Chain A
Amino acid sequence: MEIILRNLTKTFPARGKKGRDGVTAVDHVSFTVPDGELVGLLGPSGCGKSTTLNLICGLESPTDGAIFFGEEDVTRLAPELRGVGMVFQNYALYPHLTVRQNIRFPLENRTGKDRLSRQDIDRKAEEAARLVQMEELMDRRPGELSGGQQQRVAIARALVKSPRVLLLDEPLSNLDARLRLQTREEIRRIQKQTGITTVFVTHDQEEAMSICDRIAVMRDGVLMQQGAPQQVYDDPESLFVARFLGTPPINVFHGSIRNQKLCIGDQPVMDAAGAADQEVWAGVRPEGFVPCPDGPLACRMERVEVMGRDTSIISSHSACTQPVIRSIVSSESAASLRSGQPAEALVRFALKPDKVFLFDRDTEARIRLRPAGSVPASERSAR
């Protein structure tokens, strides 16, 4: 089932005093979730992603805009009529009911002609439990389950009524690191197996990037960018998105464009064809640094961290907005650096143009360069 959000807006009335403007949690968001895809709503806390999810679910009704499930306008429809399954952040499993009773609960609500027979209810509950591999623990209570198991029961409860859409609110935030990795694979598997259109909300970009077909990054109620995870990562439209995605995070420098060149600290470091002279933010992904004896960007060497396959070079530069620059380079190219280098010496980098993004100093919007026809000289010599 395709989900279409059209100009969706939600304003909460100001608490207390009248006449004060309310808080706009969701601001004219338009967005399409293609049928059968897993989509992550991503953003820092308070960005409106959970409100967006609640709007899709029907727990909140929008101030403006419309929501379509396929052809059908569900904007004013009560949640139970939308055919959505929802998994809450703390799972909201009823503590006094067993796993089986929890999973059966949504089905037992049906009355009248939708009423299901006992056998049907049992069969569907068993099916849902098998899907999340919980059929062994059907008679336990939620208090006797681990966090990951509770999560799976919550998913089973959401799926048992065969919803058109599955919604997950921060599904991994209550799990420890190891379980998180495992559970996100599990969510991915269940989603692929059922082919159900799924929206999940998270503040953890790694989580979203790893399992989503498509991500949507939000900030202050505004949809900043959407697309396939790799595409958004490789081509951020704003400084915010560039900063939000990627671990370690992007390194941001005070830069300026002079004569079609990007300068960092007076030193031209890269071609910037097609950009007018101005002050900019220059974001460089950690993997965009290439250690190179005659590289244009000279940084103060702090230390080297070896992480096996890769090595990360920690350095600093007065024009960088962060205290240290983190760059990830292959271990071979780092090896030459370490030997015979005095501590606190300079380390020189060349930059990979496709890992460097320029942003307007005021609007923080991306400044697009003319596609460079040639590979920079420094890298050519490195090959």
Chain B
Amino acid sequence: MEQHTTFETAQKRALLQERIRRGAVYLLLTLWALIVLFPFYWMVLTSVKSYGAYNAEHIPSFFTLHPTLQNYIDAFTTVPLVGYLLNTLIFTVLTTGLMMVVSVLAAYAFARLSFRGKNLLFTAFLSMMMIPSELVVITNFATITHLGLRSTFTGLVLPSVTSVFYIYLLKENFEQVPDELYRAAKVDGTSDLKYLWKVMIPICRPTIVTVAILKAIECWNSYVWPRLITDDPAYYLVSNGIQEIRENGFGRENIPAMMAAVVVISIPLILLFLIFRDKIMSGVSRGGLKG
């Protein structure tokens, strides 16, 4: 019986420890969530403070009782924010669209068609994944400059189209479609292109959508290449726009207007993320396995 009570106290102590541990875990998680969210909160908060009020606060306040949309109006009128957004949209759609066509065709060739030298070529493809973009950007810069394509959408889009990794991802996915379907389609006299369009793409839609979203995010946030290749502010993308706003825009002190611009730029992606959360997260963690 004595043994029994020691068991019982041990049990009680374990329960208490468990409670403390859980409390600590939630505390830690909440703390990190706050650290992640705080910049977003601050950005939105500052964007609705009026210019005068913001600069009058020596000690920044954590809320405002007089929210204003003036900064948003400034953001759209003083700097060509709409232009930046449109440019980025065009760039994103063109690049993503072109990449999808090119990648799907290549992935299909690797996954379904047979030709001489396929394995060798695929190995070459895989080794291209290791080429760092920082190395090739120098020549691409020279090429585009010599072709006279600086500050054009062509110059922006063309070098951004290639993505070996997405071809690889699509190929792996295509290969999971059973061979029998292809043979059946061949027996029915379906052409390869039609089979790709009518069978492969619908079956592999989840992966295709994921790849497209990931590429779109990448395009929306791209900074280095657009910066190198666009001198003309009329072709600035949002990242360059932000940099431009920061250095020459509203005057360096108009932080609230800058924050309004930042909010406008961030919203499309956050919406995209909230809609396609699972696709994006699984896609990224799969991409994480490519190493």
* Interface membership of A81, Cβ < 8 A: yes
Q: Which of A71-79, A148-156, A205-213, A327-335 participates in binding chain B?
A: A71-79
Chain A nearest CB: distance from B13 CB in Å?
11
Residues of B within 8 A of A78 (CB): 10-11, 14
Q: Which residues from chain A contact B290 at a C-beta distance below 8 Å?
A: none
Interface string of B1-37 (1 = CB under 8 A from A): 0011001001100100000000000000000000000
Docked complex Cα distance between A78 and B10 (Å): 9
- The smallest C-beta distance from B255 to any residue of chain A, in angstroms, reads 46
Closest residue of chain B to A76 (Cβ to Cβ) is B11
A111–B251 alpha-carbon span in the complex (Å): 66
B: contact size bracket: under 10
Q: Which residue of B lies closest to A74 (CB)?
A: B7
Q: Which residues of B contact A81 (CB under 8 A)?
A: 7, 10-11
Residues of A within 8 A of B10 (CB): 78, 81
- One digit per residue, 1 when the CB lies within 8 angstroms of any chain A CB and 0 when it does not, for chain B 191-229 equals 000000000000000000000000000000000000000
Q: How far apart sit A76 and B14, CA to CA, in the bound complex (Å)?
A: 12
Tell me the residues in window 72-115 of chain A with beta carbons closer than 8 Å to chain B beta carbons: 72-73, 76-78, 81
Residues of chain B from 125 to 173 with CB closer than 8 A to chain A in the complex: none
A78 CA to B7 CA, complexed, in Å: 9
CA distance A76 to B3 in the complex (A): 14
- CB A59 to nearest CB in B, in angstroms, measures 15
Q: Which residues of A contact B14 (CB under 8 A)?
A: 78
Contacts of B11 on A, CB cut-off 8 Å?
76-78, 81
- Write the chain A residue with the least CB distance to B4: A72
A226 to chain B, nearest CB (A): 29
Q: Which chain B positions have C-beta within 8 A of A77?
A: 7, 11
In angstroms, Cα B238 to Cα A206, docked, is 71
Give the complex CA separation of A76 and B11 in angstroms. Answer: 9
**A73 to B11, alpha carbons, bound, how many Å?**
14
Task: Give the distance to chain A from B7, nearest Cβ to Cβ, in Å.
Answer: 5
Chain A residue with Cβ nearest B15: A78
**Complex CA–CA separation, A77 to B15 (angstroms):** 12
B residues within 8 A CB of A72?
3-4
CB neighbours of B4 from chain A (8 A): 72-73
B1 CB to closest chain A CB (Å) equals 9
Least Cβ distance of B289 to chain A in Å? 19
Interface string of A63-75 (1 = CB under 8 A from B): 0000000001100
Complex Cα–Cα for A72 and B6 (A) = 13
Whole-angstrom distance from the CB of A67 to the nearest CB of chain B?
A: 14
CA A15 – CA B7 in complex, angstroms? Answer: 33
User: How far, in angstroms, from A77 to B3 measured CA to CA in the complex?
Assistant: 12
What are the interface flags for A95-139 relative to B under an 8 Å C-beta threshold, 1 for contact and 0 otherwise? 000000000000000000000000000000000000000000000
12 examples of A-B residue contacts, CB within 8 angstroms: A72-B3, A72-B4, A73-B4, A76-B11, A77-B7, A77-B11, A78-B10, A78-B11, A78-B14, A81-B7, A81-B10, A81-B11
Given contacts A73-B4, A77-B11, A81-B11, 9 further A-B contacts (CB under 8 A): A72-B3, A72-B4, A76-B11, A77-B7, A78-B10, A78-B11, A78-B14, A81-B7, A81-B10
For the complex of A and B, list the 4 residue pairs with the smallest distance between their C-beta atoms, beginning with the closest.
Answer: A81-B7, A77-B7, A78-B14, A78-B11
